Amino acid sequence: QTAAPLERSSDRRVCLWQVSRLLQKAEAERTQEDRALLQEHQDTVQELSRRQSRRSLLKRKQEEVFDDAENLKAKVRQMAEALQQAKHVVIYTGAGISTAASIPDYRGPNGVWTQLQKGRSVSASDLSRAEPTLTHMCIWMLHKVKMVQHVVSQNCDGLHLRSGLPRHALSELHGNMFIEVCDSCSPAREFIRLFDVTERTALHRHGTGRLCPHCRAELRDTIVHFGERGTLEQPLNWKGAAEAAEQADLILCLGSSLKVLKKYSCLWCMNRPANKRPKLYIVNLQWTPKDTLATLKIHGKCDAVMGLLMEELGLGTPVYNRSQDPIFSLAKPLSPQEQKSHTREEITPPAALEDASPDTQAQSEATAVQGGWFGRGYAKARRKRKTV
């Protein structure tokens, strides 16, 4: 019973191969027999044409486009004027704002998914070594001067928190790699650490192996993997994100492909008439599914754009200062019994950093790690299919 469908499938593949080979020939080189075959299989010719169009469109969407210097400056000036006139600004951030901290994005030319699609392996280093970028610090400054009211981030790297952005003004929709929680306590208890708590966690497996000092239940990470639905109140702060979006009259998207964020309808006010929605400004090198709805699309690297923006606004460019990093005051130390519960490098306080020898720092920088929210996030995609 299965022989006939298999035979038809095999014939179809042969036909596609033959027609594809003929289409690659210059028209002048095609024989009478070639032209007759193409005429006979017009449906296959059309299908191959549609496939080629889809491939070309996908390739164009993946290309990085850069505005020239003059155009970039003019666009940033336009965005600065809009920010000054807006009453309630919300910023949505993606992996593109952290690439300057040596954290790879996902869909850029050297992004995680892009490399995996090309069959290349991706190595992960300890992301806790990263520090807030110029963009993170500019966002902190814009909030400090009350030009930005809320930040919604897809990133798990904790760099917004470390920039000094207040917790109430931040929604980390996909979690924070420095935070573990006890959801057995009511309300849930939060424990901020100086290391990546996700070493042993993965999709649908969130236990960190450490215990709550109050109820002795196992702590869990806060990461929301692809295919999961986040339920924690903090650090996700969905309530804050939805309320901010509802009040927004301007949304600025920085370094995000928006392919995930577009699915969160509460962030876009799409239930309103078009003229009642927030003005949308996008800074990204590649195409996004919201480009046609944007008031302005800026093709530039986030740090370059934000640096120009601060100049236009006359605010100066803030610099990250480790001695003012709030994570050191927020972090809860491990109990003596849990000191060896992880192998991840801890963020070094400024005083301890000065005491570290150059050899120790060099050795630390050379160490690569596996697993954790970043490593586990793409490890599944690297597995080879079993051969039948």
For residue 183, count other CB atoms closer than 10 A to its CB: 18
| Rounded Cα gap, residues 149 and 169, in angstroms | 7
Q: How far apart are CA 285 and CA 180, in angstroms?
A: 34
Flag whether 212 is marked binding: yes
CB atoms < 10 A from the CB of 194, how many?
A: 20
- Angstrom distances, CA of residue 333 to CA of 183, 328, 336: 19, 10, 9
Report residue 149 as tokens: 């009211």
Gap between the Cα atoms of 80 and 74, Å rounded: 10
Dihedral Cα 143, 101, 314, 284, nearest 10 deg:
-80
138 in a known ligand binding site = no
Residues making up the chain, counted from first to last: 388
Joined together, the tokens standing for residue 303 give 């740090």
End-to-end C-alpha distance for the chain, whole angstroms: 21
25: helix, coil or strand? coil
368-373-377-383 Cα dihedral, nearest 10 degrees: 50
Query: Is residue 182 part of an annotated ligand binding site?
Result: yes
The bridge status of strand 279-283 relative to strand 296-298 is parallel
Known binding residue 266? Answer is no
**3-state SS string over 161-173?**
HHHCCCHHHEEEC
Query: Where do runs of H (alpha helix) occur along 130-171?
Result: 134-144, 159-163
State the CB neighbour count (10 A cutoff) for residue 346: 15
Q: Which residues pair with 220 in a beta bridge?
A: 181, 207
- Which residues participate in catalysis according to the annotation? 174
Euclidean distance between CA atoms 62 and 94, whole angstroms:
16
223's tokens: 């990461």
Half-sphere exposure of 92 (CA within 13 A, CB side): 30
Q: Which residues contact 278 (CB under 8 A, 6 or more apart)?
A: 90, 245, 248, 249, 250, 251, 269
**Quick check: bond before 187 cis, omega within 30?**
yes
Binding residues: 182, 185, 212, 215
Binding residues for Zn(2+): 182, 185, 212, 215
